[in-house]
């Protein structure tokens, strides 16, 4: 693996980790009534690469009224 590939791998891993941590923190602080579905299920889904955190932010939260 050359240095450019390593750089992109580190960038992608950093973005993935940042998204996951942000989603998990948001899930932990959000009341269960404001989450669509079981919080434990969303916690597991968030662990799935980029798809999990993005799915949680797009579909897992109820909008504040």
Distance between CA atoms of residues 24 and 28, nearest Å: 6
What's the pLDDT at 1? 87
Q: Is 70 exceeded by the pLDDT of residue 62?
A: yes
8 A C-beta contact, residue 58 and residue 25: no
- Average pLDDT of span 45-61: 95
8-state DSSP, 30: S
Average pLDDT, the chain: 95
Domain extents in the chain: 3-60
47 with 20: CB under 8 angstroms?
yes
Residue for token pair 């897992």: 60
- pLDDT value for 65: 63
d(CA 30, CA 59): 14
pLDDT tens digits, 24-50: 999 999 999 999 999 999 999 999 989
**pTM for the full model?**
0.87
């Amino acid at each position: 693996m050359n240095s450019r590939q390593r750089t992109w791998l580190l960038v992608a891993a950093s973005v993935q980790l940042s998204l996951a941590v942000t989603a998990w923190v948001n899930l932990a602080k959000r009341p269960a009534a404001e989450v669509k579905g079981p919080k434990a299920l969303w916690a597991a889904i968030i662990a799935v690469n980029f798809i999990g955190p993005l799915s949680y932010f797009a579909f897992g939260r109820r909008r504040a009224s």
